[in-house]
Amino acid sequence: MSEIKQTSITVGESELKFETGRYAFQAEGAVVVSLGDQNLLVTVGMGGARDGMNFFPLVVEFEPKTYALGKLKHSRINKREGRRSDRDVLTSRMTDRPLRPMFPKGMRNEVQVICTQLQTDGERPPAALCMSAASMAIQLAGLPFEESIAGVNVGYDDAGNLVAFPTYDQLDKNGLDLTVAGTSDAIMMVEAGANLISDEAMIKALEFAHAEVKKICAAQDAFLKNFDIEAKEATIASDSESYEVAANLVAQIISEDDLTAVWGETKKEVKKKMKVLEEKMLEACAEKIEAEEITKSDLMSAFEKAFAKNMRARVFSTGKRVDGRAPDQIRELKSEVGVLNRVHGCGLFQRGETQVLSILTLGGPDEELHVPDTDRPEFKQRYMHHYNFPPFSVGETRPLRGPGRREVGHGALAERALKYVIPPAEEGWAYTMRVVSEVLSCNGSSSMASVCGSTLALMHGGVPLKAPIAGIAMGLLMQDDGEYRILTDIQGLEDFDGDMDFKVAGNNESITCLQLDIKIKGLDLSLLEEALKKAKTARAEILKNMLTCISEPSTQMSPYAPLIETMKVEEDEIRVVIGKGGETIQGLTAEYDVNISIEDDGTVVITGLRDGIAGAKSAIEKLVYKPDIGDVFEDCTVKTIMDFGAFVEYVPGKDGLVHVSEIAQERVENVSDHLSEGDKVTVKIKDIDNQGRVKLTIKGV
């Protein structure tokens, strides 16, 4: 068995512990990371390289466990953990992002990182812990890895001070939820949600986070010196002889002028010009391909690399991008609302060839999403955003398999951008809101387009946002000598062949959301600060276009949107409204096609269309009605015929006696000659005895 070794470090007010050698000693690398009562086991394994593999097959999985929080799964027929929640998928994605660039370029071995949740107090998110433990486990396994990376969460405490590894309560209430990963020298990944904070405040938070990242990286490096680690040999893809020949042929056949001439405002224009060069190249190399001196695949790969190199170089030499724009220029913008007339709200946003249709659906407060998380106690969510990326949006065909990791990630990003400006229920906006963004066409930054489309949809639907929000994607081209160009509003080619994808959402002055991914070994904070300034300028231009379309939330909601009516009943009347086994409230819900929820203090919330709400409210008022002499009721049902009179239900659930002498002006010998069960009559309260029994009359009413 392995010797158990431990180390710990104080980060902020928390003690972060790492341990190896106790568990999973057959894994190539295994580390337990602990913070408070949260324990995560992170293991790593490396396999071989499969034939034909043309990418690095790194897989990172976060494995949540219901036992970790001391809970049983809600299902009565299956207590085993099942499909991972969206939050679990996001944790896996977030852990993957800073690890991937640290492996050697061209590595083809299968690498699997599994983060198993052993126990948790439900106090803090796990992603940053997974990053640090994964970095240590990978290096203990001897895998080729550039240097230690670490992750840290940052938020505000109740006094407004920055803190490392804040609690969920602090993240939810205090307006900053920041996760940063990096090395000792630079930041590599950022994921942030913020309640309209300034660029300056965000930079301070990033500086604070990176200082804590440095501490954790240093602790890893010191701990790793205690081990005699045997380096493992990885399979690194190298250019074949065929590829080198193909690259030389491409350079001979396709000139730099030919490549520079490939430009256009749309993907189709660029592809059409590239197709001409591809055909020229294939025709010139047909004999060598047939003689198997080179492969078509190598030839096309060499051509694509040559084009990417030229595309990057022309930005530095001419200041022009592949679509003719300057580095800080945004593509043509278009904003519309109301393109669908039956939905509760909709917005169509287009930036260049990227087009997103966002649709709003409103529901009552009892339609909130209940999130049964394994990482924290169940919580409710009033605002949801879902993102769909169908194959036709990029001119492809593929099976529809439901939302994948990309869709989940982009949906969560856009949701975070807007959740801080959604009005709270306490301010009178009690609706549950779901926005779905359908990507109809994509040439880069569809997630930020969905932020813009969602703002339009929410405003069109009448949601009183605290501020309209726009999103922009910033890119980066970095030369070996350190010279760089920041690109505003990157399109697909610039994302694929660029060095950074930096998404920023907010209004003219403040930030609500950040996401940073890079392909190089980290970024300086000064560069991020410059990118934030350029992003602010871009957001202002986009918001101007959006607000020209709709300047403020609609004052009139869609006639198809539900309304919300609130009324109050006495606490001892709640059971009357609910009825035995929920029979009464279920009957009202079905009869008037509404949703009805009742709080413990007697607040009744009715959600539905106008006529249904009016009917349900009237029915509830009758249910809790306190009888008063002289009150008249129409359309009342005769429930029971007796020799001495009839019992009539004057309001739902409440009966009164119409004595035989009160049925008609003339003398009535036989009640059944005048009334039958089920008859509808108009009655008036004549008297209420000292036991609260109601006496009704039909005479003279």
3-state secondary structure of 555: coil
Average pLDDT over residues 278-292: 88
Task: Give the span between the Cα atoms of 338 and 345, in whole angstroms.
Answer: 7
| Phi and psi torsions of 61, nearest 5° | -125, 130
Indicate if the pLDDT at residue 151 is higher than 60.
yes
- pLDDT for position 44: 97
- pLDDT for position 116: 95
Superfamily for the 333-549 domain:
GHMP Kinase, N-terminal domain (3.30.230.70)
Indicate if the pLDDT at residue 373 is higher than 70.
no
Task: Give the span between the Cα atoms of 131 and 91, in whole angstroms.
Answer: 10
Residue with tokens 């957001």: 539
What rounded mean pLDDT belongs to the chain? Answer: 91
- Cα 595 to chain centroid, rounded: 26
Residue-wise pLDDT tens digits, 628-673: 899 899 889 999 999 899 999 988 778 899 999 999 988 888 998 8
- By mean pLDDT, which of 91-100, 190-199, 294-303 is the weakest? 294-303
What does pTM read for this prediction?
Answer: 0.86
CB-based contact 551:455 (threshold 8 Å): no
Residue-wise pLDDT tens digits, 444-498: 899 999 999 999 999 999 999 999 999 999 999 998 888 999 999 999 888 888 8
| Phi and psi torsions of 354, nearest 5° | -90, 120
| Phi and psi torsions of 580, nearest 5° | -65, 120
Task: Give the span between the Cα atoms of 347 and 445, in whole angstroms.
Answer: 17
Task: Give the span between the Cα atoms of 403 and 415, in whole angstroms.
Answer: 16
Beta strands 111-119 and 58-63 are parallel
Question: 152: which DSSP letter?
Answer: E
Residue with tokens 């030839």: 299
- pLDDT for position 423: 93
Task: Give the span between the Cα atoms of 69 and 120, in whole angstroms.
Answer: 6
- pLDDT for position 487: 96
Indicate if the pLDDT at residue 604 is higher than 90.
no
3-state secondary structure of 603: strand
Indicate if the pLDDT at residue 410 is higher than 80.
yes
Structure tokens at 417: 């951008």
Task: Using a pLDDT cut of 90, give the percent of the chain over it.
Answer: 60
3-state secondary structure of 215: helix
Name every residue whose Cβ is closer than 8 Å to that of residue 91 and which is 6 or more positions away in sequence.
Answer: 62, 115, 125, 126, 127, 130
Confidence of residue 293 (pLDDT cuts 50, 70, 90): confident
CB-based contact 512:420 (threshold 8 Å): yes
- pLDDT for position 374: 64
Name every residue whose Cβ is closer than 8 Å to that of residue 136 and which is 6 or more positions away in sequence.
Answer: 18, 20, 29, 31, 42, 148, 220, 223, 224
Q: What is the CATH number of domain 632-697?
A: 2.40.50.140
Structure tokens at 29: 């690398």
- Cα 118 to chain centroid, rounded: 26
- By mean pLDDT, which of 199-203, 333-337, 557-561 is the weakest? 557-561
3-state secondary structure of 551: coil
User: Would you mind telling me the total number of residues written for the chain in this entry?
Assistant: 701
- pLDDT for position 147: 94
Indicate if the pLDDT at residue 1 is higher than 60.
no
Task: Give the span between the Cα atoms of 494 and 482, in whole angstroms.
Answer: 19
Angle between helices 610-623 and 583-592 in degrees, nearest 10:
150
Task: Give the span between the Cα atoms of 646 and 429, in whole angstroms.
Answer: 47
* 333-549 shares the fold of 5-224: yes
- pLDDT for position 378: 74
Q: Using alpha carbons only, what angle is made at residue 527 by residues 521 and 531, rounded to the nearest 5 degrees? A: 115
- By mean pLDDT, which of 66-75, 526-535, 611-620 is the weakest? 66-75
Q: Using alpha carbons only, what angle is made at residue 254 by residues 248 and 255, rounded to the nearest 5 degrees? A: 105
Residue-wise pLDDT tens digits, 548-586: 999 999 999 999 999 888 888 888 888 888 888 888 889
- By mean pLDDT, which of 30-34, 145-149, 154-158, 264-268 is the weakest? 264-268
* Architecture in CATH for domain 5-224: 2-Layer Sandwich (3.30)
Superfamily for the 563-623 domain:
K Homology domain, type 1 (3.30.1370.10)
Residue with tokens 């001119």: 395
Q: Dump strand ranges (E) for 629-679.
A: 632-642, 645-651, 654-659
CB-based contact 68:119 (threshold 8 Å): yes
Return the domain boundaries, the chain.
5-224, 241-318, 333-549, 563-623, 632-697
Structure tokens at 76: 């009565």
- pLDDT for position 352: 94
